[in-house]
A and B are shown apart, each in its own frame.
Chain A
Amino acid sequence: MVLIITLVNILLLYGGTYAFVKKITIGDSRALTILTSAISLVVALSFMYYLMLVLNQSFVVLLIMLSAINLAHIFITYDFFKNYRPKVLSNSHIWPLAAAFFLTCYFILYASKYGNWDAFAMWNLHAKFFYHPELWKHLFTSKLSYSALDYPMMLPSIVAFFWNAVGSMSPSVPVLFAYGVMLAIPLYTYFALRDEGLKWLSLVALVIFVTDNNFKQIATSQCADSLLSLLILMVFVQYEKFKGLINNRAYLLGFICASCAWVKNEGLVFYLLFTAGFILSNYRHVPVLKKYLTGAIVPTLVLVSFKLFFAPANDLISADNKQLFSLSVVLTDWGRYATIFKFWLNTLVSNYIYVLILIFATFVVNWRFFASMPAVIIALLLMGYFIIYLVTPHDLSWHLYTSLYRIFQHIYPALIYLVLLGFKDLQIRQRQVPLN
């Protein structure tokens, strides 16, 4: 019964989200709008679930709240859906369907029930605490081992939400959610590039994701890295569509960008960098900045409340990190730089060869890409990761070995999208060259 009520509420809420997203993302294809709405809805559900936990309420109260929201918006969105005509899939949709088929084949063969170490030592373990509204705070006071308690809560709260909906802590929920994220990344990239008229390059993106085992392995691991990469991809897609236009898309951009910080601590670094870049590039357009910051308010407040009142200090900035007290020693330890560089190079060559090829191609034919705002933000983000490794309190080799292959995944889909999109600018420039 609870499951049915939850699903009906989600469906209605999706209708409202779709109507809202459609209004502020004028010009996007229907497929992209559907994906944007669905992802934004899942993100919003995680905030609502957190609110429920903070207010010590039960899942039933959350359902009542969702029903009230639905009753309020259903009259507003009724007019929108009165004229809605579902479209039959066109022939071009065969490619995303084929990609979904091949990704599902991988999922069938390799997805494990409980994910990898981080999934059951951290993400799903946290979700088990959040499943019980009366016990969730015990997580932060407990002395759990191998479990980073300061990690933001988006993934565990989504899993806990659906566990409450099905009425048990079924392992199928995180498995299915990981599958959904794995499908969403290639499809979002494909439709975003197709919206720009890049028919063949959008297919190239699909082929890259379908044939990339590293991407699929991380996506099915039930960790939060793929979810973060999906949101970062969304941010850059929305930013590229927003560029140069003064419209309401900035609300969505702010919301999704700030939500990155609710997935992982690395997302917080991205949020700060992107926001700084966005403010610098739009400082003359105060209304745009207002919209961006309005969109970011809820995720930012949620994150600040979590970090201030619940989460313990991060191991990098806690008093236990002796590296911070000997910064000068760490920063002049050239051996650490060499180790990090070596690991980065090895990881890029063995796990991210597609990126290397695309970046090389961009360097040859479209070097201006490296001066663009998204490229600078990605470079700064990588620099931030580099510094984190430099001052890590853990054994450096162990830290690099266990996390680097996943860390690059955060920017991987966005980089593929941006690099392929860069070839469009190249085409336009070539057309603009006057003939002699």
Chain B
Amino acid sequence: MNKTITYIKIILMAAVPLMLIAKIYQLNKTDFDMDLLAKQLAPLQSRIKPNCSIGFYNNSNDPALFVEMQYVMAPQVISNKITPDTLLVIQFNNKPFKTFPDYRVIAQNQDNGRQISLITKTN
């Protein structure tokens, strides 16, 4: 009986860290929504000046998207308004597109059924 318990203990002690490693490996290998957003935003992030005020617009009215984008962009602060001179615009292809006539596009990225643009006001 004691031997059986010892074997079970050894198996459990080995299994728990192995399971943990497998989970972390799986999480790192899988691309979640946030990872896709981060990949799509990466080329635009380098074009944003540090400490410059960035606004945000998306045509899906989904607050979760803004919070995800806020997390991905941190520590660059993005406000959920379209008042600043520079805007990050996320427009889904299956929703009506809003146009920003007084703005010029600095960078743009089309992927995952959406278009992400960094636009700034023309003087």
Binding site for B on A (CB under 8 A): 89, 91, 93-94, 97-98, 100-101, 104-105, 107-108, 111-114, 117, 120-121, 124-125, 128-129, 131-132, 135, 138-139, 142-147, 171-172, 175-176, 179
Contact = CB atoms under 8 A, between A and B. Distances in A.
A139 B6 CA distance: 51
B114 to A, nearest CB: 19
A117 B28 CA distance: 20
Interface string B4-24: 011011001101100110111
B45 interface: no
A388 to B, nearest CB: 24
B75 A100 contact: no
Nearest to B51: A138
A91 B1 CA distance: 10
Contacts of A100: 12, 16
A121 B75 contact: no
Nearest to B1: A91
B30 interface: yes
Given A97-B9, A138-B75, A171-B27, A144 B70 contact: yes
B49 to A, nearest CB: 14
A142 B20 CA distance: 37
Given A104-B20, A128-B71, A97 B12 contact: yes
Contacts of A114: 32, 34, 71
Tell me if B's interface is mostly helix, strand, loop or mixed.
helix
13 contacts: A89-B13, A91-B2, A107-B20, A108-B19, A113-B27, A117-B64, A117-B67, A125-B70, A129-B74, A129-B75, A131-B75, A135-B75, A146-B67
Contact of A94 (B9, B16, B22): B9
Tell me if A's interface is mostly helix, strand, loop or mixed.
helix
Given A124-B71, A125-B74, A101 B15 contact: yes
A114 B38 CA distance: 13
Nearest to A169: B74
A93 B8 CA distance: 11
A144 B67 CA distance: 9
B77 interface: yes
B68 interface: yes
A176 B19 CA distance: 12
A129 B9 CA distance: 42
Contact of B5 (A91, A107, A108, A132): A91
B16 A125 contact: no
B63 interface: yes
B80 interface: yes
A375 B49 CA distance: 54
B103 interface: no
Contact of B79 (A145, A172, A176): A145
A89 B64 CA distance: 47
Contacts of A135: 75
A113 B32 contact: yes
